[in-house]
C-alpha cells in the first residue's frame, strides 16, 4: 500500500444509546480505490461522515492527509468530494445553478467547470432545467458532477450507480477509474452492487456491526477464503464417474461440467486434458468473485 492517506484507529460512534461504530480501524493509501462492503446499518455512511468531519467520533483517532477532521474539518472538506444517498439538491434551482452555487462554496475559480462537468455527465441539455424535475439517474449524475467540481484529492461515493440505467452505470464506472488514474484521487466507495465494485476497486474492507471484519485485495481475499476452486466448463466431455483426472467432477447440464480443484494452479493442466478428450466451448471459475467472498466472509464472521 502507498502512503497512508486516511486512517481510523479504534473509532467508536454512538447515536443516542445506539452504537454504530465499535473500535473501528481502517487505513486507505493515497491514490487507492477502496470499497466498503457491508449490510445496511454496518456503519458505512457513518464512516464517510466521520472522515469528512461532519460528525465527531466519541472515541478514537481519525487522520486524513495528516489532518484531524474534528479540528481541521475545513481543510479536510476542501480536499474532499462527496456523494451520499441522502444528500439532495435545491429543487427550485437548475442543474447549472446548483453546480455554480456549490462551485462558490468549494472555492472553484474556473467558471467553465460546472458546464464542463454537465457535459461530461450528459446533462448539457438539462442544464437549465430545475433539478426538481430531474430523474433519479440525472440527480445521481449531477451529484457526481458536484462531488468532482473542485477536483478533490479524496472522493467518497455512496452508492454511486443507484438509479442509473445500464449505459449510465457503465459511464460512471469508467469515469471513476479514469479520474483516479488521471488525478491519483483516493476514493472510498460504498455499494451493494458488488460486481460493479469489483470492476473499480483496488482493495476491499468488509464491515459488520460497526467493525472491519476483513480487508484486502481480491487475490488476497481469494487466497484466504477460497480453499478450493470450482470451474464450470461448457463441454461435451463424457464423465465416467464423479471424478476426472483425480478431481471431483459433476454434470450440471447436458453441455456443462463442474470441476472442484484445490487451487487455481490446477486449472491449466485440467483444461489441457479436457481439450484432449472433448470439445470445450467455454470455462469460468465460480465462487471466486467478490459476491461469493462477501457471503463467505460474513458467514465466517457470523459463526465466530
Partner 1 sequence: MNKQAIWAIARKDMRAIFANLQVWLPMAIVPLLLGVVMPSVIVGIAARVPMDQAGDFQKMAQWVGKIPLPGLAGDAAIEQRVVFLIANYTLAAFFLMIPLMTASVVSADSFAGEKERGTMETLLFAPVDLLSLFTGKVLAAFIPAVGLPLGTFALCGVAVNIAGWNQFGHIFFPQWNWLPLMLLVIPMVSLATIFITVFVSARVATFQAAYQMGGVLVLPVLLIVGGQVSGILMLGTLLTTATGVVLLVVNVLMLRAIMARLDRGRLFEGQIR
Site for partner 1, rule CB under 8 A:
15, 49, 52-56, 73-75, 77-78, 80, 82, 84, 86-93, 101-102, 104-107, 146
Minimum CB distance to partner 1, residue 73 (Å): 7
Residue pair 82/147 in contact (Cβ under 8 Å)? The answer is yes
Minimum CB distance to partner 1, residue 19 (Å): 15
Question: Which CB atom, from 93 or from 280, has the smaller least distance to partner 1?
Answer: 93
Q: Round to whole Å and give the CA distance between 135 and 285.
A: 38
Question: Which CB atom, from 146 or from 298, has the smaller least distance to partner 1?
Answer: 146
Q: Round to whole Å and give the CA distance between 60 and 62.
A: 7
First and final CA of the chain: distance in angstroms? 28
Question: Which CB atom, from 2 or from 56, has the smaller least distance to partner 1?
Answer: 56
Q: Which residues contact 217 (CB under 8 A, 6 or more apart)?
A: 202, 203, 204
Minimum CB distance to partner 1, residue 176 (Å): 19
3-state DSSP assignment of residue 299: helix
Provide, for the chain, the percentages of residues in helix, strand and coil under a 3-state DSSP scheme, each rounded to the nearest 5: 40, 30, 30
Minimum CB distance to partner 1, residue 45 (Å): 9
**67 DSSP 8-state letter:** B
Q: Nearest to residue 194, comparing CAs of 292, 287, 284, 285?
A: 292
Q: Which residues contact 65 (CB under 8 A, 6 or more apart)?
A: 5, 6, 76, 79, 153, 154
Residue pair 249/274 in contact (Cβ under 8 Å)? The answer is no
Question: Which CB atom, from 132 or from 263, has the smaller least distance to partner 1?
Answer: 132
Q: Nearest to residue 210, comparing CAs of 33, 61, 54, 26?
A: 26
Question: Which CB atom, from 97 or from 119, has the smaller least distance to partner 1?
Answer: 97
Question: Which CB atom, from 91 or from 223, has the smaller least distance to partner 1?
Answer: 91
Minimum CB distance to partner 1, residue 103 (Å): 9
Minimum CB distance to partner 1, residue 231 (Å): 46
Minimum CB distance to partner 1, residue 23 (Å): 20
Question: Which CB atom, from 30 or from 78, has the smaller least distance to partner 1?
Answer: 78
Question: Which CB atom, from 14 or from 296, has the smaller least distance to partner 1?
Answer: 14
HSE-up of residue 137 (Cα within 13 Å, Cβ side) = 13
Q: How far is CA 251 from CA 226, 237, 255, in A?
A: 22, 10, 8
Q: Round to whole Å and give the CA distance between 118 and 243.
A: 58
Amino acid at each position: 500500500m502507498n502512503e497512508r492517506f486516511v486512517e481510523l484507529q479504534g473509532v467508536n460512534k454512538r447515536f443516542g444509546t445506539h452504537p454504530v461504530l465499535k473500535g473501528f480501524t481502517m487505513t486507505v493509501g493515497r491514490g487507492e480505490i477502496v470499497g466498503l462492503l457491508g449490510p445496511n446499518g454496518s456503519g458505512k455512511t457513518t464512516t464517510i461522515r466521520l472522515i469528512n468531519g461532519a460528525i465527531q467520533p466519541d472515541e478514537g483517532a481519525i487522520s486524513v492527509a495528516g489532518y484531524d477532521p474534528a479540528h481541521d474539518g475545513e481543510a479536510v472538506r476542501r480536499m474532499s468530494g462527496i456523494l451520499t444517498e441522502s444528500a439532495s439538491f435545491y429543487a427550485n434551482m437548475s442543474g447549472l445553478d446548483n453546480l455554480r452555487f456549490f462551485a462558490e462554496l468549494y472555492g472553484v475559480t474556473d467558471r467553465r467547470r460546472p458546464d464542463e462537468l454537465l457535459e461530461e455527465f450528459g446533462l448539457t441539455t438539462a442544464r437549465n432545467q430545475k433539478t426538481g424535475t430531474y430523474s433519479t439517474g440525472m440527480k445521481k449524475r449531477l451529484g457526481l458532477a458536484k462531488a468532482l467540481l473542485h477536483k478533490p484529492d479524496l472522493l467518497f461515493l455512496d452508492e454511486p450507480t443507484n438509479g442509473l440505467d445500464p449505459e449510465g452505470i457503465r459511464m460512471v464506472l469508467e469515469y471513476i477509474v479514469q479520474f483516479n488514474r488521471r488525478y491519483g484521487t483516493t476514493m472510498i466507495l460504498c455499494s451493494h452492487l458488488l460486481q460493479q465494485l469489483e470492476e473499480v476497486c483496488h482493495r476491499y474492507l468488509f464491515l459488520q456491526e460497526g467493525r472491519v471484519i476483513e480487508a484486502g485485495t481480491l487475490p488476497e481475499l481469494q487466497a484466504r477464503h477460497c480453499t478450493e476452486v470450482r470451474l464450470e466448463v461448457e463441454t461435451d466431455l463424457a464423465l465416467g464417474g464423479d471424478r476426472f483426472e483425480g478431481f471431483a467432477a459433476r454434470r450440471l447440464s447436458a453441455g456443462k461440467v463442474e470441476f472442484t480443484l484445490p487451487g487455481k494452479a490446477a486449472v491449466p493442466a485440467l483444461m489441457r486434458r479436457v481439450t484432449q478428450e472433448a470439445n470445450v466451448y467455454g470455462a469460468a471459475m465460480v465462487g471466486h468473485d467478490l459476491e461469493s467472498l462477501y457471503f463467505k466472509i460474513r458467514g465466517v464472521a457470523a459463526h465466530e
